[in-house]
Amino acid sequence: MNPIRWNHVQTFYMLAIMFALQACAITDPIAKAETTEQRAFATYGTFVIIEEQAAKLVSSGQLSDSAVRAIARADAQVKSVADSLLNATLEFTVIRAEFEAGETGEERFVRAMNELNSWVERARPLIANLITAVRGAE
């Protein structure tokens, strides 16, 4: 491909991506988060919004029994991890305060932060499973 034309294509896509990310940020709590705790909070809060919508759906009486059970299974899985994420965040908050006060070492602080990030990553595919269950039920 002509290098100049390829550059134009690249530029177009880069602008498109930048626009997409900027526009998405209007309804994207995670994009607004700047710290590990804020990111965990945004992830958990987004999960709660999905879960509440799922609850409304199963309460509507319009779903088959199998669809309700599929949503319930997916919810049970993600709920467990999401609550672990929440607990890891609360624990991290304590460790961060101790670290900032010089009461604990950097190694413990980093380990707690890594663990919190790992819970965020574990929650993501499970939230996707819940999404699939809800989508399949509609």
Partner 1 sequence: MGIIELVLVAIKGLSVVLNNPALGGGSSVKLQEASELLSFLGELLTRGDEAHEELVAFTKVVEEMAAKGRQPTTAEWNTLRGRSDAAHDVIQAAAAATTEEETEQVFLEELTKAELLELAEKEGVSISSSATKAEMVSALEANGR
Interface ranges with partner 1 (CB under 8 A): 13, 16-17, 19-21, 23-35, 37-39, 41-42, 44-59, 65, 68-69, 71-73, 75-76, 79, 82-83, 86, 89-90, 93, 124, 127-128, 131, 134-135, 138
Q: Would you say 2 or 64 has its CB closer to partner 1?
A: 64
Nearer to partner 1 by Cβ, of 53 and 111: the residue is: 53
Measured from the CB of residue 80, what is the shortest distance to partner 1 in angstroms?
Answer: 10
| Contacts for 68-76: CB closer than 8 Å, 24+ residues apart | 68/137, 70/133, 70/136, 70/137, 71/130, 71/133, 71/134, 71/137, 73/133, 74/126, 74/129, 74/130, 74/132, 74/133, 74/134, 75/51, 75/130, 75/133
